[in-house]
Chain A
Amino acid sequence: METLKTKKMKEVHPMENVLRMDRIPHIWCPGCGIGLAVTAFAAALEKAKIDLNKVAIVSGIGCTGRVAGYVKLDSFHTTHGRAIAFATGIKVANPDIKVVVFSGDGDLISIGGNHFIHAARRNIDMLVICVNNFIYAMTGGQVAPTTPLAVYATTCPFGSVEPPINIPYLADSSGAVYVARWTTLHIRRLTNSFIEALNKKGFSVVEVISPCPQYYSRVNRLGDGLDMMKFYHDNTEIRHGEDTKNLDIGFQSKIIMGKFIDRERPSYTERFD
């Protein structure tokens, strides 16, 4: 009688070649959407058949800013708000490098707003992944420029009095060539957006709406990560090509997602040459 010899299989996670396995488990909270955004990014790198040796990822400070530390590429964890400036230096010095900036709404739009506008204006060839959780999570839940009106946060304990910024609108008016928005629930569409943006020359922005169960959701009584995902399921609408003016997000309002801008403009390095 033959005995079946089962070979001991080495268990390899499909994302292992893109993740720094010696840093796993990561620091993000249960229910946080950043992990999903990283999954989508890893899948996109795989599917787009990009040479991983030629990709540099730069992030700033914040929860999303920690992404650089978990992705196995030439990765830089730089100063608050200046990831785009640092990445511009890399791109201009060596145009063969594919540059990705992976950071949060506070880092990219608040302190980094100026650099966001100028890199878009110049159309520097880079992909900016902005994970928007509407709050400054890492430092304990302060208000962010994306926090909707009347929402509670530690530095607006009586409700925010500032109208939030509309990231796709800002990117569009500054000259970005690719602007899309998805939530962390819509992983497959997010992955496809990343692939399109990675293959496109010019300044591309993908906004990723994410839950923050520890601060944003908890302080505003919205439940946990799963409840937020359910909310995304029931309250999002895909409208490709929608005018970016109409993409404001209010408190628990409908979220419009899709690919809004996909146009051609000569990139900075092309014009420079």
Chain B
Amino acid sequence: MKANPKDVLTGVHYIDGDVASGYGILAAGCKFVAGYPITPSTETAETFARVAPKGNAMFIQMEDELASISAVIGASFAGVKSMTITSGPGYSLMMDAIGFGAMLESPFVLLNIQRGGPSTGAPTKTGQADMMQSRWGSHGDYEIIAISPDSPQELFDYTIKAFNLAEMYRCPVMIMSDECVGHMTEKVVIPPAEEIELEPRRLYDGPPSEYLPFKPDDDFIPKMAKAGAGYNLYISGHVHDERGYPVINEKFKSVYLRRLVDKIRRNKEKIIELKEEYTDDAEVIVVSYGISSRVAVRGIEKARKKGIKIGNLRLVTVWPFPDEKIINLAKTTKAFVVPEINHGQIAFEVERCCHGKANVVLVPHSGAGVHNPDDIYDAIVLAAKEKKKIEGIVEYKTKLEKLVFEGDYKLKE
């Protein structure tokens, strides 16, 4: 299915990430956005509020984030593509409803422009510390898809892709961006509508009396129907059978919940997207995502000039995590260097999949800024020199940490 030309602002734009995402939401054919202002994601909501009438779409500012996500899930059952936009504290508030949406297999997209945390943290500055939260934030077992764009252009492109994935897999899709990319102004090329591929909703088209809302197809995913079209939907957050009715039965519960989890786990290869270069014969591989992958490029180039065989693995899809890729690369490389703007989140996943076959060096950062590329370079050099296998994650001590904690540093306001 192609995009509707009315929704697509074709042309070359010079805009920031938040605005690019707003245009992407429109281009994807999303007709409902419910949001709540939170720095640094507010501009996306404002952009969409402005352009919504073009695509006959609706923006509503709800009274808080819980109401926003609930409205989004409701709208998805009313038959439209829907999404919400938030940041750290708002994301935490949405956790209950995200689990609810996962249980109902509601296809929705959630854009999280991460900021410095925890708690209120540093609202106007960047961070990447919600990555584990996107996977495990809600209670119970479920799987989500998380994408990490690294530029305004990618924010446009991957917003559209996120909607496609949501429709295909009927699960929450998180776009885990960050304040730096959100507020970065760059060239964004929006192609003509015919060049934008959209995934249509998997609608059931049989007789209403035979509709089973949760009867899966061969790929584990059931077909949807719209509310108000005569299907008498019963949608409940309780564990339910194919008709949607709550069932209290151990065996059934395991079967149903296993499908919820399997539909992503078994389709991993189709979902995961990575960008790699020079990983085949690398001594050290840098694994990164989002803004950190852009910052890492400087460190990588410097290291390459010094003759270190360095590979670059950029995770575009962070969840589901590319287990097999890391397992295989660990067998041929000496070490992984993981720069992230947090104190270790995806680094733990890399350690897990390494199975002790390669060292893992974490280059942490508390947030409110991006890495110093020299720290990444120094970590790469360290990793390349290290001959022994070190158990566990090696935490690299960055220049910032040394500045603040060693010596007489006084905080300036």
Q: Chain A: residues with CB nearer than 8 A to chain B?
A: 61, 77, 79-81, 110-111, 113, 136, 138-140, 142-143, 145, 154-158
Contacts and interface: CB of A to CB of B under 8 A. Distances in A.
21 contacts: A61-B120, A79-B89, A79-B120, A110-B64, A111-B36, A111-B65, A113-B63, A136-B37, A139-B37, A139-B42, A140-B43, A142-B37, A142-B46, A145-B63, A154-B46, A154-B49, A155-B37, A155-B45, A155-B61, A156-B49, A156-B61
B38 A139 contact: yes
B156 interface: no
Given A79-B120, A140-B42, A142-B42, A158 B53 contact: yes
Contact of B64 (A111, A140, A156): A111
Contacts of A136: 37
Main secondary structure of the interface of B (DSSP, over half): mixed
Interface in B48-91: 49-50, 53, 59, 61, 63-65, 89
Interface of B: 35-39, 42-43, 45-46, 49-50, 53, 59, 61, 63-65, 89, 119-120
Most buried by A among B39, B42, B45, B53: B42
A156 B35 CA distance: 12
Contacts of A139: 37-39, 42
Contacts of A113: 63
Given A143-B61, A154-B49, 16 more contacts: A79-B89, A79-B119, A79-B120, A80-B64, A110-B64, A113-B63, A140-B46, A142-B37, A155-B37, A155-B45, A155-B46, A155-B59, A156-B49, A156-B61, A157-B46, A158-B53
A79 B65 CA distance: 13
Main secondary structure of the interface of A (DSSP, over half): loop
Nearest to A143: B61
A140 B37 contact: yes
A75 B49 CA distance: 37
Contacts of A158: 53
A121 to B, nearest CB: 18
Most buried by A among B53, B61, B119: B61
Give 6 closest A-B pairs by Cβ, nearest first. A111-B64, A139-B37, A142-B37, A154-B46, A110-B63, A155-B61
Contacts of A156: 49, 61
Nearest to B38: A139
Contacts of A140: 37, 39, 42-43, 46
B25 to A, nearest CB: 14
B37 A77 contact: no
Contacts of B49: 154-157
A48 to B, nearest CB: 31
B179 to A, nearest CB: 13
A142 B38 CA distance: 10
Contacts of B120: 61, 77, 79
A215 to B, nearest CB: 12
B42 to A, nearest CB: 5
Nearest to B45: A155
Contacts of A77: 120
A156 B119 CA distance: 28
B373 to A, nearest CB: 31
A66 B50 CA distance: 30
A139 B37 CA distance: 7
Nearest to A61: B120
A157 B63 CA distance: 18
Contacts of B63: 110-111, 113, 145
B64 A81 contact: yes
Nearest to A110: B63
A158 B52 CA distance: 11
A111 B94 CA distance: 13
A113 B59 CA distance: 21
A27 B59 CA distance: 31
A158 B39 CA distance: 22
A180 B36 CA distance: 29
A210 B339 CA distance: 46
A158 B59 CA distance: 12
Contacts of A111: 36, 63-65
Nearest to A154: B46
Most buried by A among B45, B89, B120: B120
A145 B65 CA distance: 15
Nearest to B46: A154
A111 to B, nearest CB: 4
A167 B42 CA distance: 26
Contacts of A80: 64, 89
Contacts of B36: 111
A71 to B, nearest CB: 18
A155 B58 CA distance: 11
Most buried by A among B35, B38, B63: B63
A110 B35 CA distance: 13
Contacts of B39: 138-140
Contacts of A157: 46, 49-50
Contacts of A110: 63-64
Nearest to B92: A79
B115 to A, nearest CB: 12
B87 to A, nearest CB: 10
Contacts of B59: 155
A113 B49 CA distance: 24
